[in-house]
Structure formats: C-alpha cells, structure tokens
Chains A and B, each alone.
Chain A
Amino acid sequence: MVPEPKLSHTAALILKAIHAGDGYGFSVMEMTGLPSGTVYPAMRRLERDGLIRSQWERQAIADADQRPPRKYYKLTRTGQTAREASERRYPLLAKLAAEEVERR
C-alpha cells in the first residue's frame, strides 16, 4: 500500500485552493488570504515535489482578452491523492474552501 503524503496546513490549503479555484497564483492568494511571499514559494515547492504542474496560457486567448498570458497550476495525480489525504487530516479545510467558492 502506498503511504499517503503528509502536508503542512499551508501546503494543504494551497492545494485545496488550486483544486477549487482558477489555478493561478493570485486566485490562490484571494482564496487562502495568504500573502504572495508565502503562496508563490509554496507553489514552487509543490511543483518541485510533483504535486502540481504548471502550464502557460495560450497567447491567442490572452490576446483576445487584451491581457498578458498567465501561468496556470493544476494538481497532478499525486497531488489529488495528497489533497484527499490532507482533507481527511484537516477537516476544516473542505469547509473553508467551500465557503470561499460560494462567496465567489
């Protein structure tokens, strides 16, 4: 049986926000209330550990909206497992994120 990865509360919160939100850095900040200096290094660490992966938005989509292209983050399969495990570990996470989604 593969052991479930254990994450810090902040990392679990960011994983949850990436899963429930739009998947870019600023949306994670808005959902979690964490500052940029915490969110971005945490996302780099999650990406290095293979829990999330990043992808640049297509230039044509950004051009159509007359804005610069953004970098989007998605959970990998390992990240999904980690998120599910962290929600069992921190039950309040699911509630917090659900409230945030409703507010949006």
Chain B
Amino acid sequence: MLFNSLFFLFIFFPLVTGFYYLLPHKFRWGWLLLASCYFYMSFIPSYILILFLTITIDYFAGLFIERSADRKKRYFLILSIVSNLGLLFIFKYFDFFNVNLSALAGILHWNYSLKSLALILPIGLSFHTFQSLSYVIEVYRNNQKAEHNFGIFSLYVMFYPQLMAGPIERPQHLLHQFREEHYFDVERFLSGLRLIIWGLFKKVVIADRVSVFVNQIFNHPPDYTGAHFVLATFFFAFQIYCDFSGYSDMARGLARTIGFELMINFRAPYFSRSVSEFWRRWHISLSTWFRDYVYIPLGGNRVSNFRWQYNLFITFLLSGLWHGANWTYLVWGGLNGFYLLFSIWTNKLRLNIANSLRLSGTLFQKIYQTLITFLLISLTWIFFRAKSLEEVQYILGQIFTDGYKLKSLSPFINQYHHSVLIALSAISLLILADYFVADDKRLDRLRQTPWPIQIIAYAVIIFLIMLLGRFANKQFIYYQF
C-alpha cells in the first residue's frame, strides 16, 4: 500500500485516524499496531515474520542491557547489532558481495562456488533496522529506558507513517509519544493535512510526472545524447527530492493528524550553499543517525586531522552502501565524501579569493554557491540513478562531449512538450515554497499568513493535484532501501 494510492488516501487513512480518536486511550496503541501490521502486510504478508524477528531480538536486547552490568551489556549490544546487520546483510548485501567475490576468485583462480540467494528485499528493511538499532544503542548508552511493553516497542519499530522510508526516529523522541493521550485538535489536524497535501503534490504532480522523462532517457542510454542526459539529470534531481521529501512530508502529516510529531527530514536542500550544508538539509534523520552512531564513535573531529578526514569519508562510504548493494551507490557516497574533503582542503583558498574579489556575503556569492552546490549534487545523482558504473561512464562521456547541443533535445521536448512545461511550472512553485522553508524567519512569516489565504492556497494545491496528478501507484524510490 502506497501513500499515493487511492486505497490509502480514501480508506486506510480516514478509517485508521477516525477510529484512533473514537477509541479510548488504552486501546489506541493496539489499534495503531494492528493498522501498521496491515499496512506492512499489504506488500508481502509473510515478511512480517522477519520484522517480528528483529523486534523480538531488540526488545529482549533492550531489557537485558538495562538489567546487566557493563560487560554483559556490551555482549547484548553486540548480539543485537550482529543480528540486525546480519539480517540486513542476508537480504540486501549477500548477493552483491557474493558476485564480487566470485569475480575476484575467477581472477585469482580460486575455487569459489557459493550461489546467489536472489531474495526479495523486504520493503523498508534498512529504515526499520536502523530505527530498531538506534533504540538498543540508546538503551546501552543509558539515554533511554528499556521499553517493557512488547506491543509499544513493536509499534515504535512499525509505526505505519514512517515504517517504509523513515524519518528514522530516535526512541527518546518517539517512544514516549505512544503513551501520551492525544485529543482531537482541529488546528493540529489541519496542520497535518497541509503536510499530507503538500507531500502528495510533490509526489504525484512533480516526481511521478518527471519520472516519465527520466526513465525514458536513463533506461535507454544508447538512444539519447549528452543534452538528453543533462535534461534527465536535472529532472532526476527534482524527482528524487520530491519523491522522498514528499513521502517524508506525508509521513509527518499522517503522524500529526493523530497527535504524533516526527522529525523533519528535509529542509529545502537545493538552497544549500555548500555540500556540507546540503547534508544538513537532506535526509536529516539518516545523516544524524550516521553522525551519532558511526562518525562520532569513530572519533568524529576530536582526533588528528588525517583521522578526522578518514572518519568523514568512511561515514559517507557507509551511507552510500546503506542506499543499495551496488558499486554505483558506493561511489555515490564516496563522491559526496570527496566533495566534503575537497571543500575542507580548499576552504582558505576559496575564502581568500572571495575576499579579494569582495564577493563575501554578497547576493552574487549566495547565488553562485547555491548553483554550484546544485550542479555538484546533480552530478552525484547520475551515479545514484544509473544501473552500473559502465553506464555512468557512458552517460558522463556523452554529457562532456555533446551535453551542450540543446538542439538535439527538440524531438524529445516536442513529444512531451505539454508535460515538460507543466513539470517546469510545478518545479518553479516548489522552488518558491522552498525559498520560504530554507530560512526560519521567512518560514515564520509564511506561517503567519491569514487563514483565509492559507485555505485558498491549499485549495489551489488540491485542485492542481486533481488536475495534474498522476495516480498510477508509482512506488516511492526510497521504499527499495
């Protein structure tokens, strides 16, 4: 079941939300757990057993860690981490490592004959594994008491708005909310609805519309020229942003309608003026997860200069691997890590140049920094979208040889011209909205807009969703992770 499916929007959401408020408080977590199980099982019912296994292991790990002394605590933590990552490895990474080991064995003339498992990846496995792990680690660090109610702990891992693609929550932020009684508050409910509507707009009007152009070009590389790949990469940058942030907005909105607050996952990332700022605005729940559980335990920046840069790079490599078992994701993570290192190495030089040209703090500097960051990030999306490194090589080769020959685009634009124009207009609206989101003061001013104007604005967005939305049940890209 997808958030953009009619079944979800017109049946699941109203019924779950409606009955949530109609039921007495003591039955509500049970109701939400039942709804979350149904939501998860509507993909592949039997895979709930895998989720149940993860939940059971981490539930008991949390209890044992709380009761144990230092050394034993550590064993339970390791047991939980190994079990969680082991499951993730079997389902997500085994075939990747197996294929590469097999290729390596071939080169070295070793006898290696392990067969691939070809398992279907349970939807959202990386997300709920990380969320569950974060609970065990926080209990181990004494930042969180172990949850004794198995049902509520299950709900923490399975809470349907964020089960499939986050935001990856922390127990300190989410777990206590399941015990709080939420009254029906019209303002809060409407605020949740606004997020749902805006998320849906991003998904069905922008992401699913531009996905047609992107898929057409990226799925048939030999048929297209460099200029096509430039266009497709530009659209993919907005497709993935609207797809994922649209999902996150909907997740936050759905949770808010029943009184829960989930963390913000995106904050106008394409308004970033550097790659490091981009990563503070993009998929915030994952970036902070890696910061808290990988980067800082590795030593963070409180180590030698070399070690600090090593920590940064390794964290980005692992983040790339988290996204998928393919060399393209690994290089994507590595490239982002390299960008950060490069910005560290050239920081003084860039400052000196900007100062000597008297550009520091000017509007011009802000604009070109934003544009360059967007271009650099867009370049990494090619690695993210392509199926293999050979394909990336081909696409980049095309872009750098005839990417500027815009005339070759005319048959493609001619074929999709209405749709391309609509997509560009919708993207402009998104950029305008993100302009307000990018800055807290501007966002506050936007929030103070009189309610009749807000109602009209959201009515227009609903109208646009119905007029231009694509309801072909296209899956969210991040579900596959």
A binds B: no
Binding site for A on B (CB under 8 A): none
